[in-house]
């Protein structure tokens, strides 16, 4: 298979200033949080990890939204996508390579996020079990949510007349809503382990329903897709973050 479009998309995106800034932001914010927390308390705990984790997820998701516009929507608006369709890659090949490039980049940035707990562990000295658990969670959740926003932004962009502005508007709205969701449990931060999922789930589900109608009001079938994805996402979070005793 000809992978020219994949390579070009990845190389171009890695060279883009945003990727560098993103890495600096992730590392910078996390270090800032670790250090601030360190000076205000007595070492690492779940709240610090939760907080940094949420910031990282936000950044990865924002990048995923940006990436989708860069790889697809801008190209469509510039009309260069049509020219790519007429090469040997064809329409499906072009979409596939661009999508894979997006996934590859989200994987890369999630991998960078993966190392954040290591920084924490080495700075504060904690048990290896914590490292394995949090690193895996960091990686998985940032990757899944990044891919989720990437796909969602594309879907919204294509649905809403392929306009970059509407696409970014909606995707960022979704990102911000996710962030709000993510911060909700902070009010129970002292009692993470005993927080019953049944308290959180209806609230999250209602938020998803609201988002679905807001973002996909004009495209009824996508409401179902979003709802399913949302439920999967919630279940993953429910079963990995809240239920597992650390």
Partner 1 sequence: MNAVRVDKINVWYGKFQALKDVSFEIPTGKVAGLLGPNGAGKTTLIKSMLSLLPYKGEIKFFGRPLNKREVGYISENEGLYEWMSVEEYLEYFSRLYGVPTKMVEEVIDIVGLKENRDKKIGSLSKGTKRRVSIARSIIHNPRIIIMDEPLSGLDPLIKKELTELIKKVSGEKTFIISSHQLRDIEGICDWLILIKNGEIVDYGDPESIIKRYRPLREIVFTVEPRDVEKVKNIMDVEGVESLEVKNNTIIVKFSGNSDDIIFEALLKNGIKFNLKTDSLDSIYREVFK
User: Where does this chain bind partner 1 (CB under 8 A)?
Assistant: 2, 4-5, 8, 12, 78-90
In the complex with partner 1, the residue whose CB is nearer, 82 or 214, is 82
In the complex with partner 1, the residue whose CB is nearer, 56 or 75, is 75
Tokens encoding 63:
């990048």
CB of 89 to partner 1, least distance (A): 6
CB of 96 to partner 1, least distance (A): 14
In the complex with partner 1, the residue whose CB is nearer, 80 or 239, is 80
Alpha carbon of 125 to those of 29, 102, 122: distances in Å?
A: 20, 35, 5
In the complex with partner 1, the residue whose CB is nearer, 40 or 88, is 88
Cα separation, 28 vs 208, in Å, equals: 31
Cα separation, 102 vs 218, in Å, equals: 26
In the complex with partner 1, the residue whose CB is nearer, 70 or 241, is 70
Cα separation, 25 vs 99, in Å, equals: 25
CB of 83 to partner 1, least distance (A): 5
CB of 25 to partner 1, least distance (A): 23
CB of 90 to partner 1, least distance (A): 7
Tokens encoding 144:
């899944």
Cα separation, 36 vs 202, in Å, equals: 34
In the complex with partner 1, the residue whose CB is nearer, 89 or 135, is 89
Cα separation, 54 vs 149, in Å, equals: 15
CB of 218 to partner 1, least distance (A): 15
Cα separation, 191 vs 245, in Å, equals: 11
Tokens encoding 180:
């709000």
Length of the chain: 246
In the complex with partner 1, the residue whose CB is nearer, 96 or 195, is 96
The distance of Cα 73 from the centroid of its chain, to the nearest Å, equals 19
CB of 84 to partner 1, least distance (A): 7
Q: Report the phi/psi class of residue 34: left, alpha or beta, with left for phi > 0 and alpha for psi in -120 to 50.
A: alpha
Q: Considering Cα of 164, then 170, then 176, then 178, what sign does the dihedral take?
A: negative
């Amino acid at each position: 298979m000809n992978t020219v479009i994949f390579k070009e998309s990845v190389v171009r995106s890695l060279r883009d200033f945003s990727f560098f800034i993103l890495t600096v932001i992730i590392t910078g914010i996390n270090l800032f949080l670790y250090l601030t927390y360190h000076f205000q308390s007595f070492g690492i705990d779940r709240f610090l990890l939760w907080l940094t984790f949420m910031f990282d997820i936000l950044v990865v998701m924002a990048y995923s939204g940006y990436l989708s516009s860069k790889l697809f929507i801008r190209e469509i608006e510039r009309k260069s996508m049509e020219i790519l369709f007429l090469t040997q890659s064809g329409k499906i090949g072009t979409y596939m390579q661009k999508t894979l490039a997006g996934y590859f980049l989200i994987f890369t940035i999630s991998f960078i996020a993966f190392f954040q707990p290591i920084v924490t562990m080495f700075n504060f000295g904690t048990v290896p079990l914590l490292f394995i658990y949090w690193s895996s969670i960091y990686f998985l959740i940032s990757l899944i949510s990044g891919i989720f926003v990437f796909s969602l932004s594309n879907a919204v962009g294509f649905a809403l007349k392929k306009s970059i502005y509407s696409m970014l508007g909606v995707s960022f709205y979704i990102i911000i809503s996710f962030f709000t969701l993510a911060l909700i449990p902070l009010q129970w931060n002292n009692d993470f382990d005993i927080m019953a999922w049944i308290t959180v789930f209806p609230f999250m589900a209602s938020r998803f329903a609201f988002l679905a109608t807001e973002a996909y009001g004009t495209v009824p079938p996508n409401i179902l897709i979003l709802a399913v994805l949302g439920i999967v996402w919630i279940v993953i979070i429910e079963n990995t973050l809240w239920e597992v005793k650390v």
